[in-house]
Amino acid sequence: MKIIMLGAPGAGKGTQAKRIAECYGIPHISTGDIFRANIKNGTELGKKAKEYMDKGLLVPDELTCDLVVDRISQDDAAKGYVLDGFPRTIPQAEALTNALKKRGEAVDFAIDIEVPDENIIGRMSGRRACLKCGATYHVEFAPPKEEGVCDVCGDKLVLRDDDKPETVANRLKVYHDQTQPLIDYYTAAGCLKEVDGTLDIDVVFDKIREILGA
């Protein structure tokens, strides 16, 4: 079962991707996690990715395509996977389609989680992250036990640069310009399914399970 999660930054696709992965026993592959790990470790890829992410821009295709294709070729992805954060542009989607075609495979479901921009700006400006262990929280929906302190490792929580309202607004503009065309791409491919992301998180997941047929 090869699944792609679509939706604007902050729509909740990452949360749902993790739940899908746990439910169906397939890996959750997030380019965001890969980039953040590289940023934390100070690699050259991480430094380049950070320059784009801090400005709310998409990381260029050449920094992501080969990485993702290599990842889905690993043994734990033999039964399927959930891609979260890739593809983000038509060239990336075409690269993925071609890579899968060489293996006699294709994307089974492209699930688009729909949330209005104003909801997303409110959601993301309330997010807090631990740069040490990667845990994330929300001041309203998922607060830490102690304000400003990570439950997992006790380090300080911060509002990441890419979650600040002005950056989020720019990320949404980039999304609508570059990523929204993927809706048409996967509609044409016959695998697009849409879910209302403003609903309760459990209701959203139930609707996704209905789509996946389990």
Identified catalytic residue from 2, 13, 123, 207? 13
Q: Which of 71, 160, 164, 209 is flagged as catalytic?
A: 160
13 is an active site residue: yes
Per the annotation, the verdict on 128 as an active-site residue is no
> Which spans in 103-200 are helix H?
117-125, 165-174, 181-188
Whether 127 is catalytic is yes
Q: Which residues of 88-135 form beta strands (DSSP E)?
A: 109-114, 127-130
Q: Which of 2, 128, 171, 207 is catalytic?
A: 171
Q: Which of 88, 123, 128, 207 is catalytic?
A: 88
User: For this structure, is 88 an active site residue?
Assistant: yes
Verify whether residue 160 is a known catalytic residue. yes
Q: Which residue of the set 2, 127, 128, 207 is catalytic?
A: 127
12 touches 201 (CB < 8 A)? yes
Q: Count Cβ atoms within 10 A of the Cβ of residue 62 and give its class: 0-12 exposed, 13-18 middle, 19 or more buried.
A: exposed
d(CA 123, CA 12) in angstroms, rounded, equals 10
Which residues are the active-site residues?
13, 88, 127, 160, 171
